[in-house]
Every structure is written in C-alpha cells, then in structure tokens.
Structure 1
Amino acid sequence: MGTGLAKTVALVGMMGAGKTAVGKALALKLGVPFLDSDAEIEKAANSSVAEIFSKYGEPFFRDKETRVISRLLDTERAVLSTGGGAFLSEENRRLIAEKGVAVWLKADTDILWSRVRHKNTRPLLRTDNPYQTLCDLVAARTPDYAKAGIIVEAEPELSIDGMADKVIEALDAYGGILGD
C-alpha cells in the first residue's frame, strides 16, 4: 500500500479518545502531515484552549475553531485532529464531509475516564462531578459523532500503533481515501 491521502482524514470524538496520539501515529504511517485544530487555535490566539474558554467563552472558541478547520482542510491533505466539540457543529461536519472524511474514534466512557481524569486541562470537566459530566457529554455528543463517515472502535488493550493500524484498515475498506 502506497503513502499519501486523496483527502484529509479528520479524527473526531471525545476528549481522551486518542485523536492526537493516534493521529500522530497515523500521519507517520501514511507519510502525511499531522495537524491539530486545538493547537492551531492556541497558536493563533497565543492562549491555551482553557484560557480562551474562560476569557472569551465557548461561542467565541467555536467560531475560531470553524475558521481554523476550514483553513486546515484547504491547506493540504493530512491527518487532522479536531477538538472534542468540533464535530457538533453542522458547519464543521459539512466542511469535513466536503473536503475530507471524518473518522470517529469511538471509545466507551471507562476508557475515556481512565485517560482524562488526571488532567486538569479539560475546561468542560471542571465541574463538581467530572465523571457524571463526562457521561453526559458522551450521551449528548454520540448522535453527532455517529454522523462520521467512518467509525473505529477503541479497545482498552490496543496500543496507539494498533489503533492507527485499525484506522488504516477502516480507511482502506471505505475506499477512495488512501493514495496508491
């Protein structure tokens, strides 16, 4: 199988699903750039996502996010990691569907919780009961994530590399995305 992509692969899903880690491994295996919409927003705003949320609010952040995702989809064919809330936006879903393909890294709540509970970098989990908040977010976001073109289920025992391979298999089966 050759390297390269016919279109950008946008990884979507919850915080802790592995979008950044799996995305980097995937980009390496495919020989394409890795882009991270959150990192690009932070670079442009010279602030962390958490700071942007607290300073300007979520609507401001979401507007910036859409602009960044649109620009990144236009720039080059790559693996794009999106923020957990990005795919909830109808406009972002449309942009990704037009210019790329969305891959939902679907992880159950236990996997997600084991990965995010020790991090304080998640503005949406700064609540009295972060586990319940996470469960509520998963429930609320699942219908939107399910609109992704490709769904790849995370497994607790699967390494980052193993998960990247699983995504490549799914892309291959989907067709028209992997270069030859």
Structure 2
Amino acid sequence: MGKWFGTMVLALLFTALGGAVALAGPPVSAVSASSDADKPAAGRPHPAATEAEKTLDKLLRLSEKRAGLVDALLGRPGGGKGDAALARELTTARLRHDLAELERKAVRDNCKGRYIPGELCGLDYNPLTCAQDESDAPYSYRTTAATPDRADIVYSWPGAANPSASFIMVREGEAWKLDAVRCLP
C-alpha cells in the first residue's frame, strides 16, 4: 500500500503542477515574434491597424487603381510585368490559381470559353473588393482571428452595416499575403 500511496501522491503533484503551468500560460519563449500590432483588434470595425490589415488595405486600394493588377490576378491577357510582380508580392499562388479558375469559369459560361472583343466575358467586378465601384473613403476592417502566421479579417464599405468580404492573410517569410477571399452576401 505504501508504493501505491506514493505513486498517487506523485500523480496528484504532477497533475497540480501541470494545471498551474497551464493556468500561467505559455512560457515567454513560446510567445513568438508576433507583436501587439499583429493581434486582432477587438470590437468594432476600424481603419486598417495591424500589419495584416494594412497589407490587405494596400492590396484592395491598388486593385481599384491598377486594372492590370486585377488582370494579372485573374490570368487575363493584358496585365503588365509590373502588375504580375505586384500580384506575386501581395498574394499567394493559391489565391492567384483560385481567381484565375473563377475567371475561366466566367469566360466559359459567358462566351463559350474565349474572350470576344467588345463583350464582357469574364468577371464584371473586382474579386478582391467584391464590388464594381471604388470608394474614396477608408474601408473598415476587423480581425476576427489571428496567429503569428495567419489573420482572418472582414472588411466593410464605408457606412455599411455588414461586412462585404472575409479574407485570409498568411505570412510568407516576413511578408503578409492574401491567401483567400470570400465575398459575403
């Protein structure tokens, strides 16, 4: 009985210490290099604040001003080399593939798979902003979840009651890149 009692005391001690360590949180070395600027901003939508939100805002604004950037993302003919390089800098290969597939489907459905001069064959909206128009006012963002290498963000048009799209931003190396976009109803 003495051996059994000693084993039980040790088990209880380890359980108690393990619980205390778990309550104390991760050790300082496990917190990683993420800064407060990369943590999700709680509460209401706000102008871009975290690094991931700022990168997303930059991409959305550039996509409104540079039609060649959207063409490069969609795999359309006509995007310049600078636009293709910018697309690679700010988005993942997965997103570019998904958007190009979305464009191919639209061309297939609208124009039997070929671009026709004077016809709108592909997407008729910006697949990043989920809109046909651009806004002069700042967009509002809210990070809904974040880790050091991923941020889930929703954005809203100025004055809109509900978010317009949700995004997944991922860190590749030292840079944030857009990995997925989902337009919301």
**Normalising by the residue count of structure 1, what TM-score does the alignment of the two structures yield?**
0.26
User: Higher relative CO (CA 8 A, sep ≥ 6), structure 1 or 2?
Assistant: 1
More strand by share: 2
